[in-house]
């Protein structure tokens, strides 16, 4: 299964590398957590 997520970044966000933590739940239970880095330039 694949899902998309909209990530709104404020206009005044400072440049740099940030980490997004994505937690996936099924039936109310945590199934997995993933971390993804993204860069604001």
Q: What is the DSSP letter of 11?
A: T
30 — pLDDT class (breaks 50, 70, 90):
very high
Q: Is 18 part of any domain? A: yes
Mean pLDDT of all residues in 22-37: 92
Q: Is 30 part of any domain? A: yes
Q: Is 3 part of any domain? A: no
Domain count, the chain: 1
Pick the closest to residue 1 from 28, 17, 24, 35 (CA basis): 24
Torsion of CA 26, 30, 32, 33, to 10 degrees: 120
Mean pLDDT of all residues in 4-14: 91
35: containing domain: 14-41
5 — pLDDT class (breaks 50, 70, 90):
confident
CA atoms within 13 A on the CB side of 1: 3
Q: Is 27 part of any domain? A: yes
Q: Is 25 part of any domain? A: yes
Q: Is 4 part of any domain? A: no
């Amino acid at each position: 299964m694949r899902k998309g997520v909209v990530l709104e970044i404020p206009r005044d966000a400072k440049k740099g590398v940030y980490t997004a933590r994505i937690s996936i739940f099924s039936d109310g239970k945590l199934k997995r957590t993933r971390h993804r880095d993204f860069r604001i330039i």
